[in-house]
Structure 1
Amino acid sequence: MLALIQTLVLALDIYWWILIGSAIFSWLYAFNVVNSRNQFVGAIGSFLFKATEPVLAPIRRILPDLGGIDISPIIVLLLIFFLRQFILTTIAPILLS
């Protein structure tokens, strides 16, 4: 059971970093810092978009329009933090005792 909990926490940690990478990449792309015509850059952007958009899109529909500010990644990061802490402090001690 410990291996399952650790794997789940690792998956949440990896997705945490993918979300941060996606946010940073979107800023770099928006400010034209990265070359959008580069095939490697396009592949990274496509991966990050496809990995994060299924989670971010429903949250964007719920949130009110804040102009050009997208706070949906912050909401997801908070949810991941809560879920990770809930698993480690509540579920893990119950399952491992």
Structure 2
Amino acid sequence: MGYAIVWLVNTILSILTWSIILSAIISWLFAFDVINRRNRFVNQLADFLDRITAPLLEPFRRIIPSLGGIDISPIVVLLLINFARILFNRMSAPYLIAILG
């Protein structure tokens, strides 16, 4: 059971990491007019990724000013997610595995 919880937490953190990266890439592709928002699939994908990542990014977007039009809040959130992953794997995961098996 402990291994399953550790796997689940790591998987959720990985999905959050990849969704932030994909959202940033899609926003760059929109900004440079490589892809177009009129494409229904692309628009739905961008909207889905925005709905997933916005609750994580918005508090940091309010605090961190944009640097010349560049939003660095995804970088800060990615660093914090990786910090949380390392902290969980080093401190909590061994106890969960020892207690729950």
For this structure pair, what is the TM-score category when the shorter chain's length is used for normalisation?
Answer: over 0.9
5+ long unaligned stretches in structure 1: none
TM-score normalised by structure 1 residue count: 0.93
Aligned twin of 1:47: 48
For the aligned residue pairs, the C-alpha RMSD in angstroms reads 1.1
Q: Deviations over 1:32-75 (max 9, x none)?
A: 10021111111011111111111101101111342301000000
| Residue matched to 2:87 | 86
Instruction: Tell me which stretches of 4 or more aligned residues in structure 1 moved more than 6 Å.
Output: none
Specify every segment of 5 or more residues in structure 2 that has no aligned partner in the other structure, as ranges. none
Tell me, in whole angstroms, the C-alpha distance in 2 between the residues paired with 1:69 and 1:57.
15
Q: What percentage of aligned pairs have identical amino acids?
A: 49
Letter in 1 for 2:82: F
Alignment size in residue pairs: 97
Q: Which has the higher contact order (CA 8 A, sep 6+)?
A: 2
